[in-house]
Amino acid sequence: MPTNKPKHINLLPSDNLQNTTLGRILKWALSSFRIMVIITELVVMSAFLSRFWLDSRNSDLNEEINMNKVQVLAYAEVEKEFRMYQKKLSVAKNFYSESKRSELVKKISDLMPFDLILSSIQEGESGIQIKALSYSERSIAQFLINLSDLKEITDVNLSQVASSIENSSVTTFTISAKVNNTKKGEK
């Protein structure tokens, strides 16, 4: 009896594709793409796993923001009251400083000789500036001496002395001085 030998069927072509250049390129491309797919999967998995860490960090930051917001809201009423008192104090400070200024203006006007005409008094941060008209130079000199004796102002300087445009017998002048900021009872 004849023995039946099993026949092997090979569906792959028997041409040596792997030995050709095209076959080697295809083999290299398939193995390279496998590596790229594996690397891409690793990147996607690491991004997915890092999402849990980022979510926990985000929730921690949100809790911290909410706690800070509660603290700010708790101090809002205190700050509002503080600002109200600060505003009242600034109004009172301006009121008291204006009364001192008006006293200074009154003292300056009391020191003026009779033939002196006051044009303007301006007070700034640098000091006080007095513009006036006079019919005699003697009155200007007397006014300067009187201002120098006044304790509330220092560094009295005469500047911008000129004859008036309308009347040549009238002399216009400007006096600048620094206001002494010392309070009563201080030296």
pLDDT in tens, 114-157: 888 888 888 877 788 888 888 888 888 898 898 888 888 888 88
Backbone φ, ψ for residue 117 (5° rounding): -115, 125
- Whether this prediction's pTM lies above 0.85 is answered by no
C-alpha distances out from residue 70 to 11, 67, 75, 158, Å = 76, 5, 9, 61
Identify whether 134 is part of a domain.
Answer: yes
Q: Report how far residue 24's alpha carbon sits from residue 37's, in angstroms, rounded to the nearest whole number.
A: 20
Identify whether 53 is part of a domain.
Answer: yes
Domain count along the chain = 2
Domain assignment of residue 167, given as a range? 112-179
The model's confidence at residue 186, banded by pLDDT at 50, 70 and 90, is very low
Share of the chain above pLDDT 70, in %: 88
**Two tokens at 45?**
């998995």
Residues 23, 95 within the same domain: yes
| pLDDT for the residue numbered 5 | 76
Residue 112: pLDDT over 50 = yes
Lowest mean pLDDT: which of 16-20, 48-52, 76-80? 16-20
Beta strands, E only, 50-169: 116-123, 128-134, 153-163
